[in-house]
Chains A and B, each alone.
Chain A
Amino acid sequence: MSAPPDERPPVTVLQAPVRLDYTVTAGHHLSTYLRALADRKIVGGRCPECHKVYLPARGACPTCGVPADAPVEVADQGTVTTFCVIRIPFDAAPFPPPYVAVAILLDGADMPIFHLVRGIEPDAARMGMRVRAVWVPDDQLGPTLASIRWFEATGEPDAPFEAIASHL
């Protein structure tokens, strides 16, 4: 397979991968959120003082300092608050570029989640766009955000900027 040493060109490149093997422990609030995803539900937690809905729920509301874990189911559709068009391929890319990554403020939530939007031209991505979850088939559901395959446009009129202005 390799040529005699003196026929090979000089070495100019070095493979230097870095790999860290973690075991992530989700904690109670994140576990609740992940388990709900296996049932096609998106569950956050409400702060009893400021009434904000965190997604996933939090042990403490960062504003009020009280537990923010009263479970609240939010919708599986919402509004794009911001987006990024990925045009450069990389090893872990979920699709060949170009594709669109978005922050989505789900209806009933006060914190956006990050996901992908498919079925639109990249140039059509915009703030205020209304999208809904496309779930995987039942036999592929699990306690992971990958239970939502991606989001797609609902075709509704865009939400006004004021609807997302305080969630950017």
Chain B
Amino acid sequence: MDTDVLSAPYVLEYTYQRSTGPVIGRFLTALRDARLEGVRTSAGKVLVPPLEYDPETGEATGDPVEVGQSGTVTTWSWVHAPRRFHPLDRPFAWALVKLDGADTAMLHAVDAGTPTVMATGMRVTARWRAERTGSIRDLECFVPAGGASR
């Protein structure tokens, strides 16, 4: 028997295409227009990103609500070595960002340049792509309020 063992790349790929439903579809359509939208629950909370059902009551959520382009980092984690499918090709932070006017925080990237800039409670602002298609990637990332550190 041969003692050398063969190995080879093996790619498993599912090319899923999903229906968004009306609530996420509206959120993505707003991103295409460089706007951030959530939904209001019956208790008056604003959920961003929107959910179809209120996690507290199970009721369908209500009207869309536009929120601010800036927000506050509630927690974050630094990525020293971005991987191929990450939103940025340089070190960045994954962060939960509570947008102004929202009651929940949204996961996205912060292009901060260096982790020493990052802090819970820091203010960040959306940076949009010029070509937008109706995807979460239309929002390229957040940058520290007062200017990108690029």
Contact = CB atoms under 8 A, between A and B. Distances in A.
A11 B32 contact: yes
A153 B85 CA distance: 46
B1 A14 contact: no
Contacts of A10: 25-26, 29
B11 A22 contact: yes
A12 B19 contact: yes
Contacts, number: 96
A16 B4 contact: no
B61 to A, nearest CB: 18
Contacts of B5: 25-28, 31
Interface of A: 1-2, 5-6, 8, 10-32, 34-35, 69, 71, 91, 143
A11 B29 contact: yes
A119 B100 CA distance: 65
B58 interface: no
Interface string B7-46: 1111111111111100011101100110000000000000
B22 to A, nearest CB: 9
B12 A16 contact: no
Interface size class of B (residues with CB under 8 A): 20 to 34
B89 interface: no
B133 interface: yes
11 contacts: A2-B131, A2-B132, A10-B26, A16-B17, A18-B16, A19-B85, A23-B7, A23-B10, A26-B5, A35-B2, A69-B1
A22 B12 contact: yes
A27 B5 CA distance: 5
B134 interface: yes
B136 to A, nearest CB: 9
A12 B25 CA distance: 5
A5 B4 CA distance: 58
A13 B11 contact: no
Contacts of B29: 10-11
